[in-house]
Amino acid sequence: MKNNPILNSFKTSTLTLAFALAGLAATPPAEASTVVGGVIDTRGQPAALNVTFAPLSTPRADAPNVIFSSDQTVTTDAAGQFSLALKAGQYKVSVGSQTRDAFVVTVPEGAATHDWTTLITTPLTTLSVAPPALEERRFRGVPGGYAALDASGHVPVAQLGLGVPEAALFLRGDGTWASPVSDPLSVGRLRLAPGVEPAGLAEGDLWLEAPGNRRLVYQAGARQALETVLFTGSARVVVTNTTAETSLLAAGVGTLTLPANFLTPGKSLLLRLRGITSAPASASTGTFRVRLGSASFVSSALSYTPNMANRFTDFELQFTCLEAGAAGGVVAGGSFRSTSMTLMLGSAPNPYQAGLAVDTTQPLALDVLVTHSATGCSLATLQVSLQVLN
């Protein structure tokens, strides 16, 4: 048969068309997801490096094709960002050259764009003792999963505990809603924060008033101060065979020094000393000095009863702060009594006058001293207490 140019041309065109059609049938358009993300270093700076996605679930059919295990590597740009098209499946992601910087992502079906952090299905590899983990969204708000936050960023009440939550209930440590315990409060320590008087006082209210740091209680329809004791003596003091000024106070439990800013207008203290006294046959006297900080006042001379022996004595002094501050003032007054003699004493002739100029912003040491006119006089203190009245 002779060579026919027209026939040969037709055969060539037909063959070419067949191969073209076969090629189109073998490679149909494939839908793939777009995975986007970013990489920063431990300083928070963008990192330009390779990110490799190694398929874990191939080969798999994508008719009429088969997807084989081909690693896909993308290089992040100067801003640390990347974008890569991937078919559905699981991939091991390796970031940079560190083998520990690897995790698994699951790419879903369909042609959508996904942030790679939302596709992570395994804990991130880390060198810390308790590695952070990103949980799948299917664990959100379900038992064994994690709490789902509401629109305000709060954990919904229904996810807080067992039972029906109510305003009158509280959430216990075991995760159940329960009624408050009606038994009396039993604690080994209670600390009150300084504040103002509660609004709408009710029976039994207790608060620490500021300023003044006074413990107050509302009881029997009235505001009442709780009495406290600052000091009680634990040692006996005997002033005898001396005419030198000598303190009547000794060691004890607590303190005889008022802390800085302890005194506020109206705050009062009561000092009590009880003991015995003796005097010689000749006339003799005793003079008392009361000292608070650097201020003091001296009583008039008390004439002892001659030849008295071991007479019981009671010495009582009350201090009231009238003014606070660096130029503060305290008024003090009281009496020394025995079976046969009495002495009234005070810091000022007029009780409305302070008499003792003190700086209440500084610590103030309290002391009571006696001076005898004769060595034969004797005064012993056996009991001492300093009480805060309000």
pLDDT in tens, 108-142: 988 899 999 999 987 765 554 444 444 455 567 77
88-112 mean pLDDT: 88
- What is the pTM for the complete model shown? 0.52
**What's the CA gap between 67 and 70, in Å, rounded?**
8
β-pairing, 194-195 vs 206-209, is parallel
Q: Which residue has the higher pLDDT, 166 or 351?
A: 166
Cα end-to-end span (Å), the chain: 134
Percent of the chain with pLDDT over 70: 84
Whole-Å CA distances, 322 to 194, 330, 388: 22, 6, 15
The H-assigned helical ranges of the chain are 5-26
Residue 212 has pLDDT above 80, yes or no: no
164-179 mean pLDDT: 80
Question: Nearest 5°: phi and psi at 204?
Answer: 95, -5
**What's the CA gap between 155 and 233, in Å, rounded?**
58
CA dihedral 88, 90, 94, 100 (to 10 degrees): 160
**What's the CA gap between 162 and 155, in Å, rounded?**
14
pLDDT at residue number 174: 81
Band the pLDDT of 179: cuts 50, 70, 90: confident
Asked if 338 and 378 touch (Cβ cutoff 8 Å), the reply is no
pLDDT at residue number 318: 95
Residue 197 has pLDDT above 90, yes or no: no
Return the domain boundaries, the chain: 33-130, 203-227, 230-388
Tokens representing residue 97 in the block:
């050259």
Residue 269: CB atoms within 10 A of its CB come to 23
Tokens representing residue 339 in the block:
């079976």
Q: Judge whether 33-130 and 230-388 match in fold.
A: no
pLDDT at residue number 173: 78
Which residues, 6+ apart, have CB-to-CB distance to 150 below 8 Å? Answer: 156
**What's the CA gap between 55 and 20, in Å, rounded?**
31
Question: Nearest 5°: phi and psi at 363?
Answer: -60, 140
pLDDT at residue number 273: 95
Fold of 33-130: Immunoglobulin-like (2.60.40)
Q: Which residue has the higher pLDDT, 16 or 368?
A: 368
Residue 88 has pLDDT above 50, yes or no: yes
Residue position matching structure tokens 């952070």? 132
368-380 mean pLDDT: 95
Asked if 95 and 49 touch (Cβ cutoff 8 Å), the reply is yes
pLDDT at residue number 185: 66
Over the chain, what is the mean pLDDT?
A: 83
Half-sphere exposure of 162 (CA within 13 A, CB side): 5
β-pairing, 113-115 vs 33-38, is parallel
- Say whether 11 sits in a helix, a strand or coil: helix
Residue position matching structure tokens 């009863």? 305
Q: What is the pLDDT of residues 20-74, one digit of tens each?
A: 444 444 444 457 899 999 999 888 899 999 999 999 877 777 778 888 888 999 9
Which residues, 6+ apart, have CB-to-CB distance to 185 below 8 Å? Answer: none
In one letter, which amino acid is 108?
P
pLDDT at residue number 137: 58
Question: Residue 105's closest CA among 66, 130, 134?
Answer: 134
Tokens representing residue 279 in the block:
């005097």
Class of domain 230-388: mainly beta
73-93 mean pLDDT: 93
